[in-house]
Structure 1
């Protein structure tokens, strides 16, 4: 029998003792349970703990030890193989052998494509909450990325991190007064490149000085008018709907299509 460990919130422990581990969303629409082989190294066995703890848990995380039949088919591979669909389908015993033979098994995982039955749960015990890596293996010592795709919205210290390491494209945006000064400095009717860059930053805000930007709806460059659509589309500022109504009648097709796109998302 192959032994694996599944990390989950301590609040789930009573339910797991009664009815096992329920299948959750997994790969390619399949439902199942993620786990990792129990290795001689305690640190490697629980390597996913700090990464999973980043997403919150009630009462901390616990380690659920699971015994699976050696012939049970599972998927094994590195977490980066998920998107490529290149994790290998092998028996559970082979998954343990492959991971144990690696020089560096950090970031590897096993996916059981079904729920875990109560009789397969060997034991549930507390786990130290400081074991493992965060973000990715070897991330310690490397500056974290604050781009829109990498950052965790609402995560602990996320705002301070973005302020300390601002991303050149994804912010945080400069204050509104600074952006308005850039609009003024762009001149009249205004340098299109400078205005598009400024409107890009305005688009990251939830509200904005709409009255000071409405004149850009008449800018001769259609790229500026299109960027204005994307900048104000998600603002809660009164008057946005009326501005979009006027831009929906713009003579340039790119501007009209931008208005249709943002309204289709509502």
Structure 2
């Protein structure tokens, strides 16, 4: 039996003890399941995802859920950056443990179990220190932090002082909508992905309830999946007629990151 650890909010611990871990996460190819990591001799490496996961889930402290999986259980293993490229390997659980244990630097690696984990497969649930591991990405410590709207943590410790010290080029009043649409037209067809993403990032930061959906809708067919994902984040909370239909179409996008962005956007729309 292979031993793994799953990190989650302490608020979920009673439900997990009672019924197991739900298949609530999206993995490679859009599959739903549970992210885990092998229990290694290094405590720090075993719990390396603790601080990064804490950036997105602030429901108090986190706990470590140890689970035992059959050695033959099919899983996906790879670096988190391999997920978008679809290059994480499908292997048995025992092989996933062997591959990660053999790495000189396993930071950023993950194991995805494409199903829920039952209560009978859990070994124990315990409290864990909250300051173990890396944030943003491995080796981010010592590099200049990004203070753009998408990267900065609102309300985080020292966030205001950091923004004052490292002013980002995108800070300040956004360009008028007409200027952004002119940049969009000048980008060409299908258009430079970097320029299109820059324009869509501005539309996202406008935080408006309505926008020029008709002028942006054609980007849903752009060949670059990162442009299509940026489109989802730009229009996800708009109430302009046609937005819901655009998101429905993008919900069947071949790229799993785009589909996950649509799912999150729909959750935000229902919560408002």
Q: Same-fold call, TM > 0.5?
A: yes
Question: Would you say the 8 A contact 1:10–1:57 is kept in 2?
Answer: no
Secondary structure of the structure 1 residue equivalent to 2:90: strand
| Structure showing greater Rg | 1
C-alpha displacement at 1:154, in angstroms? Answer: 5.6
Alpha carbons of structure 1 residues 155 and 85: separation in structure 2 relative to 1, 3 Å: farther
Deviations 1:164-214 (A, max 9, x none): 21222x21x16xxxxxxxxxxxxxxxxxxxxxxxx62x67xxxxxxxxxxx
* 1:79 equivalent in alignment to 2:80: yes
User: Mean Cα displacement is larger for which, 55-64 or 122-131?
Assistant: 55-64
Q: 1:112-261 alignment to 2 at 5 Å?
A: 112-152=113-153, 155-168=156-169, 170-171=170-171, 173=172, 200=175, 223=182, 257=215
Partners of 2:25 and 2:35 within 8 A in 1: no
In structure 1, distance between residues paired with 2:122 and 2:69:
9
Alignment partner, residue 3 of structure 2: 3
State the SS of the aligned residue for 1:67.
Answer: strand
Higher relative contact order (CA 8 A, sep 6+): 2
- The Cα shift of 1:149 comes to 4.2
Offset, 1:24:
0.8
Whether the aligned pair in 2 keeps the contact of 1:6 and 1:36 (CA below 8 Å) is yes
Deviation at 1:30, TM superposition (A): 1.2
Q: CA deviation at 1:56?
A: 2.8
Unaligned runs of 5+ in 1: 175-198, 204-216, 249-255
Cα distance in structure 1, aligned partners of 2:93 and 2:207: 51
**2:37 aligned with 1:48:** no
Give the C-alpha shift of residue 163 in structure 1: 2.9
Number of aligned pairs? 203
Unpaired runs of at least 5, structure 2: 187-201, 219-234, 245-272
Q: CA RMSD in A?
A: 3.5
TM-score scaled by length of structure 1: 0.66
Aligned residue for 1:26? 26
Give the alignment of 1:60-99 within 5 angstroms: 60-99=61-100
How far the C-alpha of 1:22 sits from its partner, in A, is 0.5
SS across alignment from 1:58: coil
Deviations 1:87-118 (A, max 9, x none): 00000000000000000000000000000010
Preserved contact between residue 72 and residue 92 of structure 2 (Cα < 8 Å): yes
> How far apart in 2 are the matches of 1:107 and 1:93?
19
What is the rounded CA distance, in whole Å, between the counterparts of 2:82 and 2:151 in structure 1? 18
Residue 17 (structure 2) pairs with residue 17 (structure 1)? yes
Partner of 2:230: none
